[in-house]
C-alpha cells in the first residue's frame, strides 16, 4: 500500500508540488495522470525516498519496493547478469532463494518480457532504449517486489513489448502487489488500472477509486478516461 | 540496525569499479615497483622515505570516484537504492574506498617491513610513520569524497593534485627567500606565527608532510581536519536528493 498525504515540494523558486495526496491500495494498479510538469515524477520520487517532501507524509509498505524509471540508467562497468545478481544480494532479509532458483526466475521473466537473455552478458548501457526498459522490468520482476512504482511503463516499447509489460503488471496485481504507474498513455491506463489520480500543477485534482471507476466503466454511457482527463486538465 | 546487505553490495560494486579501471590497477602496481626499484638501486632508507611520504596518495587515488558522477548518471535511481538507500550507498562507498586503500597500504607495509627486517634496517619508528601515513590518507579520502559532491569523475583528485603541484612549485621557486622556512620544516620548529600558519596551510593541502613525525601540532591539525572533512561528507550525503528529471 502507498499513501501520500498533502505532499509539497519546492525546487528554489519553482513550486513542484503543493498538495498531492492519494492512496494506492494493495492488489491494485493505480495510475497517476497529469500533464508534462504536473508533478508526477516528483511525486514518484518522494514515494521512493529519492526526494524529501517539504511538507506532508508518505507511507509505503510492507515489503520490498521496486522501481522502473522513465529512462533507466546503470553503472557503466557492470554487465546485465551482475546488475541482476546485485538485485538479489543487495536487499536485507530473504533474498529470493539460491543462485539456481534466481537464474531460473530471471530466465522465465526474460521469456515473458520478450527480452533476449544473451543480452545479459553485455552492459545495459549498450542496449537499445526498448531493451533497456525491459531490462529494468526484468530486474524488478526477478526481485519479486511487493510494491512496484513505474514511470512511463510503455516508453520506448514496441507493441509486443507493450503487451508483455501489460501482462507482467497484471500478473503482479494478481499476486497481490501494489502497483503505481505514471503515464501519458490514457487508453493503456484505462485498460489496466483500477484507480486513477489526476495531478495538475502540483495538486491532486481528482481521484477515482476502484469502486467508482468500475461503476463508471460498467455504465456504457460513462465518459472515457481521455475526456475526463482533458476536462480536469483544462486551464 | 546497519544495512549489511547494502554494505556488501557497495563493496562488490566498488570492487568491480576498481578492477575495471586500468589506470587504478596500473598505479597500484607501479607504486611498489617504483619503491622496490629505488630500494634496490639506491638504499632501503631512501625507499622508506618515499614509501611513507607517498603512501597517503593511495587513499587519495582510491577516492576518485565522485558522488556527483553517480548522482548525474541516474544509476542511483534504481530499486536497489530506494527508500533513501542511495545515501547509505554513497556513505558506504567513501568508507569502502578508504578501506580498500587501507588494505592495500597495510599489505605494502607488511612487505616493506619484511624487507627492512631482512636487511636489519626496519625501526619501530617506522610503525609510527605508517600510522601517520594512514592518518593523512584518511584525511585525503574524506576531503576527496566531500569535493566529489561538486566535481565529476576524478576531478576531485585532479584538483587536489594540481593544488599540491602549484604549492610545491611555489615553495621551490621561492626557496631562496625562504631558506629559514625550509630549515624550520627540516627541524620541525617554527619560531614565528607566519611560518607556522604557512606550514599549517601546506599541511592542510599536503598532509603527507606530517609523516616526518616531528610535527605534532600539524599532526593534530590533520587529525582535526580528518574529523572535519568526514563530518562535512556526512552532512552533504544527508542533504542529498535525486532531483534529475523533476524540474518542470
Cell reading at A95: 533474498
What confidence category does residue A118 fall into, taking pLDDT thresholds of 50, 70 and 90?
very high
Residue B184 lies in a domain: yes
Residue B244 lies in a domain: no
Chain A nearest-CA distance from B100, in A, is 18
3-state helix, strand, coil in chain B (%, to 5): 80, 0, 20
Task: Please tell me which residue of chain A has the smallest CA distance to B242.
Answer: A50
* B241–A51 CB contact, under 8 Å: yes
SS3 A27: coil
State chain A's mean pLDDT as an integer: 88
Cell reading at B241: 536528493
Check residue A143 and give its pLDDT: 87
Residue B243 lies in a domain: no
A46 in contact with B, Cβ within 8 Å: no
- Distance, in Å, from the CA atom of A82 to the CA atom of B59, rounded to the nearest integer, reads 27
Instruction: Give the nearest partner residue to A90 out of B21, B80, B246, using CB atoms.
Output: B80
Total domains, chain B: 1
Q: What percent of chain B has pLDDT over 90?
A: 58
pLDDT 10s digits, B137-196: 999 999 999 999 999 888 999 999 999 999 888 888 877 666 677 777 777 777 778 888
Residue B247 lies in a domain: no
- Distance, in Å, from the CA atom of B159 to the CA atom of B165, rounded to the nearest integer, reads 10
Residue A94 confidence (pLDDT) above 60:
no
Which residue would you say has higher pLDDT here, A50 or A223? A50
Check residue B183 and give its pLDDT: 74
Task: Please tell me which residue of chain A has the smallest CA distance to B243.
Answer: A51
State chain B's mean pLDDT as an integer: 89
Check residue B118 and give its pLDDT: 95
B99 in contact with A, Cβ within 8 Å: no
* B246–A11 CB contact, under 8 Å: yes
For residue A67, report the phi and psi dihedrals to the nearest 5 degrees.
-150, 130
Cell reading at B246: 523533476
- Distance, in Å, from the CA atom of B11 to the CA atom of A152, rounded to the nearest integer, reads 32
A207 in contact with B, Cβ within 8 Å: no
Check residue B37 and give its pLDDT: 96
Instruction: Give the nearest partner residue to A86 out of B80, B83, B248, using CB atoms.
Output: B80
- Distance, in Å, from the CA atom of A198 to the CA atom of A208, rounded to the nearest integer, reads 9
Which residue would you say has higher pLDDT here, B241 or B217? B241
Check residue A233 and give its pLDDT: 66
Cell reading at A124: 545495459
Task: Give me the mean pLDDT over the B82-89 stretch.
Answer: 91
Residue B245 lies in a domain: no
**In chain A, what are the domain boundaries?**
1-63+146-162+175-235, 80-144
Residue B197: which domain range? 4-238
In chain B, beta strands by DSSP E: none
Cα torsion angle, B68, B72, B75, B76, sign = positive
User: Which residue matches cell numbers 514515494?
Assistant: A47
- Distance, in Å, from the CA atom of B89 to the CA atom of B65, rounded to the nearest integer, reads 13
What confidence category does residue B198 fall into, taking pLDDT thresholds of 50, 70 and 90?
confident
Residue B248 lies in a domain: no
Out of A31-35, B9-13, B106-110, the most confident range is: B106-110
Residue B50 lies in a domain: yes
pLDDT 10s digits, B99-108: 999 999 999 9
Task: Give me the mean pLDDT over the A111-132 stretch.
Answer: 95
If one counts every other C-beta atom within 10 angstroms of the C-beta of residue B212, the result is 17
Chain A nearest-CA distance from B212, in A, is 39
**Topology of A1-63+146-162+175-235 in CATH?**
Rossmann fold (3.40.50)
Task: Please tell me which residue of chain A has the smallest CA distance to B87.
Answer: A50
Cell reading at B76: 542511483
Check residue B195 and give its pLDDT: 81
Cis peptide before A62 (omega within 30 of 0): yes
* CB-based contact B131:B52 (threshold 8 Å): no
Task: Point out which residues pair with A3 in neighbouring strands.
Answer: A23, A59
Cα torsion angle, A93, B19, B94, B36, sign = positive
Task: Give me the mean pLDDT over the B59-66 stretch.
Answer: 88
Which residue would you say has higher pLDDT here, A230 or B27? B27
Residue B53 confidence (pLDDT) above 70:
yes
- ipTM summary value: 0.85
pTM value is 0.86
Task: Please tell me which residue of chain A has the smallest CA distance to B72.
Answer: A73
Amino acid at each position: 500500500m502507498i499513501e501520500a498525504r498533502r505532499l509539497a515540494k519546492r525546487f528554489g523558486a519553482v513550486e513542484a508540488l503543493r498538495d498531492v495526496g492519494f492512496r494506492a491500495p494493495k492488489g491494485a494498479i493505480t495510475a497517476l495522470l497529469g500533464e508534462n510538469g504536473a508533478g508526477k515524477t516528483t511525486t514518484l520520487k518522494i514515494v521512493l525516498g529519492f526526494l524529501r517532501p517539504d511538507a506532508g507524509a508518505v507511507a509505503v509498505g510492507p515489503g520490498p519496493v521496486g522501481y522502473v524509471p522513465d529512462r533507466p540508467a546503470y553503472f557503466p562497468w557492470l554487465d546485465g547478469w551482475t546488475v541482476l545478481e546485485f538485485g538479489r544480494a543487495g536487499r536485507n532479509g530473504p533474498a529470493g532463494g539460491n543462485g539456481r532458483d534466481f537464474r531460473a526466475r530471471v530466465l522465465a521473466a526474460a521469456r515473458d518480457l520478450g527480452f533476449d537473455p544473451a543480452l545479459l552478458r553485455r552492459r545495459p548501457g549498450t542496449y537499445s532504449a526498448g531493451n533497456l526498459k525491459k531490462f529494468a522490468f526484468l530486474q524488478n520482476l526477478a526481485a519479486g517486489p511487493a510494491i512496484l512504482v513505474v514511470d512511463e511503463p510503455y516508453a520506448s516499447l514496441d507493441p509486443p513489448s507493450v503487451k508483455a509489460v501489460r501482462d507482467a503488471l497484471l500478473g503482479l496485481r494478481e499476486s497481490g502487489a501494489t502497483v503505481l504507474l505514471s503515464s501519458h498513455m490514457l487508453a493503456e491506463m484505462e485498460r489496466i488500472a483500477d484507480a486513477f489520480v489526476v495531478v495538475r500543477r502540483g495538486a491532486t485534482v481528482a481521484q477515482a477509486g476502484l469502486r467508482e471507476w468500475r461503476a463508471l466503466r460498467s455504465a456504457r454511457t460513462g465518459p472515457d478516461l481521455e475526456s475526463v482527463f482533458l476536462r480536469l486538465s483544462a486551464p | 540496525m546497519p544495512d549489511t546487505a547494502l554494505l556488501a553490495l557497495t563493496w562488490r560494486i566498488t570492487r568491480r569499479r576498481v578492477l575495471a579501471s586500468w589506470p587504478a590497477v596500473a598505479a597500484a602496481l607501479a607504486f611498489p615497483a617504483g619503491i622496490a626499484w629505488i630500494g634496490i638501486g639506491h638504499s632501503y632508507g631512501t625507499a622508506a622515505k618515499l614509501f611513507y611520504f607517498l603512501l597517503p596518495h593511495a587513499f587519495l587515488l582510491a577516492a576518485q570516484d565522485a558522488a556527483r558522477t553517480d548522482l548525474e548518471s541516474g544509476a542511483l535511481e534504481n530499486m536497489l537504492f530506494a527508500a533513501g538507500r542511495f545515501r547509505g550507498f554513497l556513505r558506504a562507498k567513501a568508507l569502502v574506498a578508504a578501506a580498500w586503500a587501507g588494505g592495500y597500504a597495510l599489505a605494502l607495509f607488511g612487505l616493506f617491513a619484511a624487507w627492512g627486517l631482512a636487511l636489519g634496517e626496519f625501526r619501530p619508528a617506522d610503525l609510527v610513520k605508517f600510522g601517520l601515513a594512514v592518518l593523512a590518507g584518511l584525511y585525503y579520502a574524506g576531503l576527496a569524497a566531500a569535493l566529489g559532491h561538486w566535481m565529476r569523475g576524478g576531478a576531485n583528485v585532479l584538483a587536489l593534485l594540481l593544488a599540491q603541484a602549484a604549492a610545491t612549485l611555489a615553495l621551490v621557486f621561492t626557496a631562496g627567500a625562504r631558506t629559514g622556512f625550509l630549515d624550520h620544516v627540516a627541524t620541525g620548529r617554527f619560531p614565528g606565527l607566519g611560518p607556522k600558519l604557512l606550514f599549517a596551510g601546506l599541511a592542510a593541502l599536503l598532509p603527507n608532510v606530517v609523516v616526518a613525525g616531528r610535527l605534532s601540532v600539524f599532526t593534530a591539525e590533520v587529525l582535526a581536519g580528518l574529523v572535519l572533512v568526514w563530518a562535512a561528507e556526512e552532512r552533504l550525503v544527508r542533504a542529498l536528493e535525486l532531483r534529475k528529471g523533476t524540474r518542470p
